């Protein structure tokens, strides 16, 4: 409870991921809210999440949220598809209301699947299709590259099917990719891995998808390699921008989370503190060192 008492007065936006992937979302949020204070937590001691059992992902995500709330965050963005797909609803329903009462603070946790689906369908989340008289004449195919955890949850298939019958979703689980990015694999190895998944998805669909979601925040770090492996011009739905836009709309509806701030940025890791790996360095554009969480 140390941080909870000490840092209660400050109010920042928390950003959570198993590792460095969430930095892609963090950067877009910082661009959108330059004055806000941010604290980023990478649970690198437990990364990757994508192949872990669901209950572990729930427990680890909850621990990460508590850590960020202790650091003064009032609003947390789970910049992790796996945590958003598997843990978010459970935490919002079974844990957060009691925790909010216990602390007496306005606290919330948001995910990145909803903004992504809004961007993929072009429809607000509230929209659910009325299927009665529907005549679908052409179906576009959306490919979703993700961790096995996100793919097994079928969240993109289920939620898009409720909203847009002319968009068929095919997920491609990529069991090694987040770990390879986290471990700073060389770009040639990453390009080979990504080309293999693009080809596996093509074979499963029978053709390439019409558009694609990089449904794991780590993949955005190597978005150029996905672009090279997919047919030229395949539109990619970018989660960072979609999440920043959605957070802007959320803040308008919930001004209690607009905290002022002085543009502070802190980066914490449950893993080894210090500079992050080279892939992240080149994506971030300047050296980035993490403090121990």
Annotated active-site positions, please? 80, 216
Distance between CA atoms of residues 225 and 196, nearest Å: 12
Nearer to ligand DGL, 62 or 218 (CB): 218
| CB of 80 vs ligand DGL, minimal distance in Å | 4
Q: Which is nearer to ligand DGL, 18 or 243 (CB)?
A: 18
Task: Determine the Cα–Cα distance for residues 174 and 185; give it in Å rounded to an integer.
Answer: 15
CA–CA distance, 245 with 34 (Å, rounded to integer): 14
For residue 239, the minimal CB distance to ligand DGL (Å) is 8
DSSP element (H, E) containing 91: helix 88-94
| Inter-CA distances, 44 with 19, 47, 183, Å | 5, 5, 10
> What is the rounded distance in angstroms from the CA atom of residue 177 to the CA atom of residue 179?
5
81 or 121: CB nearest ligand DGL: 81
Residues contributing to the site for ligand DGL (CB under 6 A): 17-19, 21, 47-50, 80-82, 147, 150, 178, 216-218
Between residues 17 and 37, which has the closer beta carbon with respect to ligand DGL? 17
Closest alpha carbon to 244 in 11, 21, 23, 26: 26
Report in angstroms how near the CB of residue 272 gets to ligand DGL at its nearest: 16
Shortest distance, position 186 Cβ to ligand DGL, whole Å: 19
């Amino acid at each position: 409870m140390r941080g909870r008492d000490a840092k209660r007065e400050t109010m920042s936006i928390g950003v959570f991921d198993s590792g460095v992937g969430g930095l892609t979302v963090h950067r877009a949020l910082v661009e959108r809210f330059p004055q806000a204070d941010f604290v980023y937590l990478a649970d690198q001691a437990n990364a990757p999440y994508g192949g872990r059992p669901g209950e572990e992902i729930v427990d680890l995500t909850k621990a990460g949220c508590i850590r960020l709330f202790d650091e003064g965050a009032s609003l947390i963005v789970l910049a992790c598809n796996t945590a958003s797909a598997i843990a978010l609803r459970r935490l919002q329903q079974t844990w957060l209301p009691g925790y909010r009462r216990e602390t007496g603070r306005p606290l919330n946790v948001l995910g990145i699947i909803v903004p992504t689906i809004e961007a993929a369908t072009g429809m607000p989340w509230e929209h659910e299709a009325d299927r009665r008289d529907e005549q679908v004449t052409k179906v576009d195919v959306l490919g979703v590259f993700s961790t096995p955890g996100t793919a097994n949850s079928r969240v993109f298939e289920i939620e898009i099917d409720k909203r847009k019958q002319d968009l068929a979703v095919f997920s491609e689980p990529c069991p090694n990719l987040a770990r390879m990015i986290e471990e700073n694999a060389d770009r040639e190895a990453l390009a080979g891995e990504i080309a293999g998944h693009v080809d596996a998805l093509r074979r499963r669909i029978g053709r390439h998808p019409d558009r694609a979601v990089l449904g794991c925040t780590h993949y955005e770090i190597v978005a150029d390699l996905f672009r090279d492996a997919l047919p030229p011009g395949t539109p990619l739905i970018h989660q960072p921008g979609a999440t920043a836009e959605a957070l802007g709309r959320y803040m308008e509806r919930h001004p209690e989370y607009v905290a002022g701030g002085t543009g502070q940025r802190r980066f914490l890791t449950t893993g080894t503190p210090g500079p992050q790996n080279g892939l992240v360095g080149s994506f971030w554009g300047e050296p980035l060192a993490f403090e121990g969480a």
